[in-house]
Amino acid sequence: MILLDGNKLSAVIRKEIGHRVIDFCGKEIRPPHLAAVLIGDNPASQAYVRNKIKACEEVGFASTLIKKPETTTQEELLDIVRGLNEDPKLDGYIVQLPLPRHIKEEEITLAIDPAKDVDGFHPNNFGRMALGMPSFLPATPMGIMIMLDRYQIPTDGKHCVVLGRSNIVGTPIALLMSKKSKPGNATVTIAHSRTQNLSEITRSAQIIIAALGIPHFLKEDMVSPGTCIIDVGINKIEDTSHAKGYRLVGDVDFEKVKYKCSAITPVPGGVGPMTITALLENTWRAFREKK
Ligand code: NDP
């Protein structure tokens, strides 16, 4: 079994990005610049944004954190977004999700300049991705594709079952896996909460991408020997043996399933760091396209 180590692979790729920054930027050319907008005090969102800013520092990017209270209004956030769109010293930015309930997420996403949409959530980028045109890919699916590529996991002609159909993970990764590309060229099945006979479907897969948000959902008896498993889930479960009183687990029953697979991502340390690495790649690309 190959452990698809997102931390190790990210370290390699981030070093490559760091070298690109050193080679390209200098006295005359400023480094790539990413901004993150964080609304409210959601601890998970705070941690994600912290990691993104830290990753920028690691590769030599400039970063800006815009932190606003939970009470921020729709109009105030739209003003921030318009300001970021117009800032010539900024290459890309993200608005960390989820947003407070009173803010209409869709309206915010639509206001982001697609050329700075390094999360790849704007319909322009999503549509371009669906058509196979150059675009910013959503960071998590892109991170998974980079991982499959670098670990040389065969995908051509394989049956890939994607568990989950969200706009940010399930649907885009299903699209990318079915594209005429490498990695890609898979025969893809998308499963969701209404899917029947799920175990039968997952057992017929050679690749399973689990993005449900249900701890340990994918069990040993749902997997055939030799399957490659990508676990996107990040779930908190109570664990009094940990100082924080909880630990993070994926959507896969890792300890039991790992003996059956050909390759598997751990949680934490699998798709999570690759998502941030993909965000850095998108920021680099936004920067280069501007030049
Ligand atoms: P969503 O809640 O938006 O989507 C979950 C999907 O799972 C839905 O499509 C839902 O189906 C499906 N689902 C729910 N129950 C079942 C079931 N019993 N059988 C089959 N499908 C089911 O989640 P996200 O896509 O946003 O995130 C999924 C997980 O990935 C979460 O744990 C999240 O924290 C994690 N995540 C990790 C990232 C990373 O960087 N590693 C980045 C983003 C997310 P239906 O559509 O019918 O409701």
**Known catalytic residue at 119:** yes
**Known catalytic residue at 96:** yes
Q: Residues 52, 117, 206, 253: which is the catalytic one?
A: 52
Closest CA to 271 of 114, 132, 144: 144
Closest CA to 188 of 212, 200, 204: 204
Domain ranges within the chain, ordered by starting residue: 27-114, 139-272
Q: CB of 65 within 8 A of CB of 95?
A: no
User: 149 Cβ partners below 8 Å, 6+ apart?
Assistant: 182, 183
CA dist 102 and 105 (Å) reads: 9
Q: Residues 96, 113, 158, 253: which is the catalytic one?
A: 96
- What single-letter DSSP state applies at residue 41? -
CA dist 15 and 22 (Å) reads: 11
The fold for domain 139-272 equals Rossmann fold (3.40.50)
Q: How confident is the model at residue 27 (pLDDT cuts 50, 70, 90)?
A: confident
* C-alpha 168 – ligand 1 centre gap (Å): 9
**Known catalytic residue at 256:** no
* C-alpha 169 – ligand 1 centre gap (Å): 8
pLDDT tens, position by position, 157-204: 999 999 999 999 999 999 999 999 999 999 999 999 999 999 999 999
Ligand 1 nearest atom to the CA of residue 212, by list position: 7
pLDDT tens, position by position, 120-166: 999 999 999 999 999 999 999 999 999 999 999 999 999 999 999 99
Which CATH code is given to the segment(s) 27-114? 3.40.50.10860
Q: Check pocket membership of 193 for ligand 1, CB cut-off 6 A.
A: yes
